[in-house]
């Protein structure tokens, strides 16, 4: 490598450091004391850190373009990855919410992440098509809040159902949060809520908010995230996620941006992944909006969101029954007996078909 190229590279790295927000300028970050690791994580740490006094437990509270900020008992530090944890490797990449083994050398302003402690849950999506990869959006999350804007377009039940499948697959609870209710006519709002209930069943909480206008529903969202719980808001860019969090925080902590008039879509205003602590409540992760949520290998989540359909499917004559036209289809019998709603079957079939196709394109030998 020429000398010049070397200098340019180094300058680039310095610049990356320079544009990260100073930790002292960040507000609403949860205190280390409100973040509680599980027993399993504590004991995994105990084994790894035995006898090493500069190793501590830390929780990743923020990622700025991939650079973690970690809360630990000594406060908040920026952290790098130790040589053993290569940053490019998908399995070793940290997510917001991860508990890590942190090395804090005395007198240094940067710490090192030595290991990621086992995750209790892992909200992940598939990025890209067959050659894509699993991307963890947040770790150790208790509840996924699926944000869906009302008003400009009819709601996307498909998107809500696939978000619920992703949440269930990783072991988190799910709630649906409608935003921008001020833009919806009362009868449309009522029909949309009824449709979501018909698809996901009565156990899934549905909250209707208009946080930019009259704060309606904001306290219902807070009630879903009590002290000690960690939530993530998932939704498309422009859904109003950051606006909702600002309403919960009571001040404009997070940047929000206008949507395009043409199609009501946002402009990816939020770029960092970060935790904010709700006064008197739990912690919520704000993330950039997600354009697509492909389902790949989320069979367990599908079964959990649609248990009665999955149960009925076990009785079909053909193992590869698509529940549309085959003889001996137990799912259609169960539908006729009203064991579940036609709306939920429509949503299930759309997602199951997609998963069958994605599995086939990943591995032609898999038959679902």
Ligand X SMILES: Nc1nc2c(ncn2[C@@H]2O[C@H](COP(=O)(O)OP(=O)(O)OP(=O)(O)O)[C@@H](O)[C@H]2O)c(=O)[nH]1
Residues of the shown chain interacting with ligand X in the complex, contacts defined by CB under 6 A: 179-180, 182-183, 210-213, 235, 237-243, 256-259, 266, 268-270, 288-289
Helices assigned H by DSSP within 201-341:
218-224, 241-249, 299-305, 307-313, 330-336
Site string for Mg ion, 265-294 (x = CB under 5 A): ----xx------------------------
Contacting residues for 302 by C-beta, under 8 A, at least 6 apart: 165, 169, 295, 310, 348, 351, 352, 355
Q: Which is closer to Mg ion, CB of 112 or CB of 243?
A: 243
Choose the one of Mg ion, ligand X, none that binds residue 183, judging by a C-beta under 5 to 8 angstroms depending on kind: ligand X
**Phi/psi at 172 (nearest 5 deg)?**
-100, 160
Q: Which is closer to ligand X, CB of 38 or CB of 256?
A: 256
Q: Which is closer to ligand X, CB of 83 or CB of 258?
A: 258
Q: Which is closer to ligand X, CB of 120 or CB of 286?
A: 286
How far, in whole angstroms, is CA 4 from its chain's centroid?
42
Environment class of 261 (CB within 10 Å of its CB; exposed 0-12, middle 13-18, buried 19+): exposed
Cβ atoms 183, 239 nearer than 8 A: no
> Across the strands, what pairs with 275?
285
Q: Report, in Å, the least distance between residue 310 CB and ligand X.
A: 32
Q: Report, in Å, the least distance between residue 212 CB and Mg ion.
A: 13
Helices assigned H by DSSP within the chain:
3-19, 39-49, 157-169, 186-200, 218-224, 241-249, 299-305, 307-313, 330-336, 342-362
Report d(CA 3, CA 21) in Å as an integer: 30
Decide if residue 112 touches Mg ion (CB under 5 A): no
Q: Which is closer to ligand X, CB of 96 or CB of 111?
A: 96
Q: Report, in Å, the least distance between residue 217 CB and Mg ion.
A: 18
Q: Which two tokens stand for residue 348?
A: 């299930």
Radius of gyration of the CA atoms of the chain, in A: 22
Cβ-closest position to ligand X: 289
Q: Which stretch binds Mg ion (CB under 5 A): 161-169, 233-241, 245-253, 359-367?
A: 233-241
Q: Is 171 left (phi over 0), alpha (psi -120 to 50) or beta?
A: left
Choose the one of Mg ion, ligand X, none that binds residue 87, judging by a C-beta under 5 to 8 angstroms depending on kind: none
Task: Output the CA torsion sign for 317, 319, 322, 326.
Answer: negative
Q: Which two tokens stand for residue 334?
A: 């169960």
Q: Out of 136, 210, 242, 246, which residue is the one contacting Mg ion (CB under 5 A)?
A: 242
Q: Report, in Å, the least distance between residue 233 CB and Mg ion.
A: 9
Cα 267 to Cα 63, 70, 183, 261, 289, distances in angstroms: 20, 28, 20, 12, 9
Q: Which is closer to ligand X, CB of 82 or CB of 237?
A: 237
Q: Report, in Å, the least distance between residue 133 CB and ligand X.
A: 21
Q: Which stretch binds Mg ion (CB under 5 A): 5-13, 36-44, 200-208, 261-269?
A: 261-269
Q: Which is closer to Mg ion, CB of 148 or CB of 270?
A: 270
Q: Which is closer to ligand X, CB of 5 or CB of 258?
A: 258
Choose the one of Mg ion, ligand X, none that binds residue 257, judging by a C-beta under 5 to 8 angstroms depending on kind: ligand X
Q: Report, in Å, the least distance between residue 152 CB and Mg ion.
A: 17
Binding site for Mg ion (CB under 5 A): 241-242, 269-270
């Amino acid at each position: 490598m020429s000398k010049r190229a070397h200098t340019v590279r180094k300058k680039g790295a310095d610049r990356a450091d320079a544009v990260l927000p100073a930790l002292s300028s960040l507000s609403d970050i949860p205190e280390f004391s409100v973040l509680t690791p599980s027993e399993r994580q504590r004991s995994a740490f105990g084994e790894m850190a035995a006898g090493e006094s500069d190793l501590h437990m830390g929780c990743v509270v923020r990622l700025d373009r991939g650079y973690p900020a970690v809360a630990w008992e000594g406060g908040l530090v920026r952290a790098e990855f130790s040589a053993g944890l290569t940053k490019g490797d998908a399995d070793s990449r940290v997510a917001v919410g991860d508990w890590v083994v942190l090395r804090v050398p005395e007198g240094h302003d940067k710490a090192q992440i030595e290991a990621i402690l086992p995750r209790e849950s892992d909200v992940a999506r598939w990025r890209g098509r067959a050659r894509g990869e699993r991307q963890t959006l947040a770790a150790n999350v208790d509840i996924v809040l699926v944000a869906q804007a009302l008003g400009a377009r009819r709601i996307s039940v498909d998107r809500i159902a696939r978000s619920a499948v992703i949440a269930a697959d990783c072991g988190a609870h799910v709630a649906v949060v409608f935003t921008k209710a001020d833009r919806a006519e009362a009868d449309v709002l009522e029909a949309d809520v009824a449709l979501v209930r018909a698809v996901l069943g009565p156990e899934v909480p549905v909250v209707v908010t208009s946080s930019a206008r009259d704060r309606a529903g904001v306290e219902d969202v807070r009630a879903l995230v009590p002290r000690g719980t960690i939530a993530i808001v998932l939704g498309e860019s422009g859904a109003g996620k950051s606006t909702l969090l600002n309403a919960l925080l009571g001040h404009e902590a997070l940047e929000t941006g206008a949507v395009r008039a043409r199609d009501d879509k946002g402009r990816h205003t939020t770029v960092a992944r970060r935790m904010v602590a709700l006064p008197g409540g739990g912690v919520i992760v704000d993330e950039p909006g997600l354009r697509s949520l492909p389902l790949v290998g989320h069979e367990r989540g599908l079964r959990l969101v649609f248990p009665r359909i999955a149960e009925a499917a076990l009785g079909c004559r053909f193992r590869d029954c698509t529940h549309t036209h085959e003889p001996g289809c137990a799912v259609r019998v169960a539908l006729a007996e009203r064991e579940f709603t036609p709306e939920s079957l429509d949503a299930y079939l759309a997602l199951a078909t997609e998963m069958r196709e994605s599995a086939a394109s990943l591995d032609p030998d898999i038959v679902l």
